[in-house]
Amino acid sequence: MDMLVIGGTRFMGPLLLPRLVLRGHRVTVLRRGHDYGRPLPPGVEDLHADRGTDAFDAALAGRRFDAVVDFAAYEGSDVERFARVLGGRIGQYLLISTGQVYLVRDGLEPPFREDDYEGPTLPRPTDEADLAQWAYGMGKRAAEDAARAHRLPLTALRVPIVHGLGDPEQRLLVYLARALDGGPVLLPEGGVRPVRHVFAEGVIDAILALLGAPDALGAFHQTQDETPSLAELVGHLFTRIGRTPDIVPIERQAIADAGLSVRDVSPLSGRWASFLDPSRLRARGIGHPPLGEMIAALVHGQLSLGAPIALPTRTWERAFAGR
């Protein structure tokens, strides 16, 4: 197939592109041009343009693609421009969306299912920390809605928090850094809440399975199948390096009183983490690699890199745990 990949060259794109090439597809990448030190596979056409400008139109004018994978649509306007430039000349539009489209819905309880999408949304929050997350979820909803309004052949792949070696936010890797330094791990409420995330490899597997499938239009969830508590997830990391976690429960107010955010101390303890039901994808025979396998690969990969992970609140964490 003639494939277009928009964005994604920082994290998941480097996993997807070589697999597309190995399958014999003709691949074009459109990106803003940032150099993340990860060269494209040989034979991939490399286009540079900001999708919010006329350069995007010029780069894709007159082109046709059998399928498009869009990692970088964050607003309705992103898809509006895409539809104006390429609408009618693509076979499938696979939009990487998010479980956060449900977290901005009003009155929903997890696990979220694809049919929970329609309904009233939450008003704009006044808290700055919540505002950024709310805007992200609302923006992704607007992107999906624009694709439907323009009758694009939409496959919306909604995913929760994504883990992997290239994760620029390092949300799981910071717990590994705490495991490596042998100190305590502070978890709000002791980390008892169950979590269900996804690993980048699982997302790529789902993309490859859905691309080109004539009945793959609509929305699908990809997540890990296991639902450990956060404390158990952290325990998996410690086990992989032969250590026992020293988990210290902490009240959220104690973190706020120190002038810190929950994200500073435990980035996976925030409220903006979706819990998705992957049944629709599983019914198609599309699974997710086992959690233990993914954690082992993440730990071994990070240790082989030897790259330090910054923990700016670590001194305070140790002091609090020692009280």
The lowest-confidence range among 186-195, 268-277, 303-312 is 303-312
> What mean pLDDT value characterizes the chain?
95
Question: What is the pTM for the complete model shown?
Answer: 0.95
Domains present along the chain, CATH in parentheses = 2-321 (3.40.50.720)
Residue 48 sits at φ, ψ, to 5 deg, of -115, 125
At 36 the pLDDT is 67
DSSP string, 108-160: --SSB-GGG-SS-BPPPPSSHHHHHHHHHHHHHHHHHHHHHHTT--EEEEEE-
At 150 the pLDDT is 97
What is the distance between the alpha carbons of residues 267 and 80, in angstroms, rounded to a whole number? 33
Asked whether the predicted pLDDT for residue 298 surpasses 90, the reply is yes
Task: Kindly state the tokens that stand for 85.
Answer: 């430039």
Max avg pLDDT among 5-19, 30-44, 78-92: 78-92
154 contacts 97 by C-beta, under 8 angstroms: no
- Strands (E) across 49-105 are located at 67-70, 93-98
Helix (H, G, I), strand (E, B) or coil at 22: helix
pLDDT in tens, 234-254: 999 999 999 999 999 999 999
pLDDT in tens, 91-146: 999 999 999 999 999 999 999 999 999 999 999 999 888 999 999 999 999 999 99
Q: Give the largest CA-CA distance in the chain.
A: 66
What is the distance between the alpha carbons of residues 219 and 208, in angstroms, rounded to a whole number? 15
Query: Exposed (0-12), middle (13-18) or buried (19+): which is 42, by Cβ within 10 Å?
Result: exposed
Length in residues, the chain? 323
Binned at pLDDT 50, 70 and 90, residue 10 comes out as confident
What is the distance between the alpha carbons of residues 278 and 271, in angstroms, rounded to a whole number? 20
pLDDT in tens, 17-62: 999 999 999 999 999 877 666 789 999 999 999 999 999 999 999 9
pLDDT in tens, 156-189: 999 999 999 989 899 999 999 999 998 999 999 9
Helix (H, G, I), strand (E, B) or coil at 184: coil
Binned at pLDDT 50, 70 and 90, residue 155 comes out as very high
At 129 the pLDDT is 80
At 39 the pLDDT is 86
Asked whether the predicted pLDDT for residue 217 surpasses 70, the reply is yes
The percent of residues above 90 in pLDDT, for the chain, comes to 90
Residue type, 311: L
At 37 the pLDDT is 66
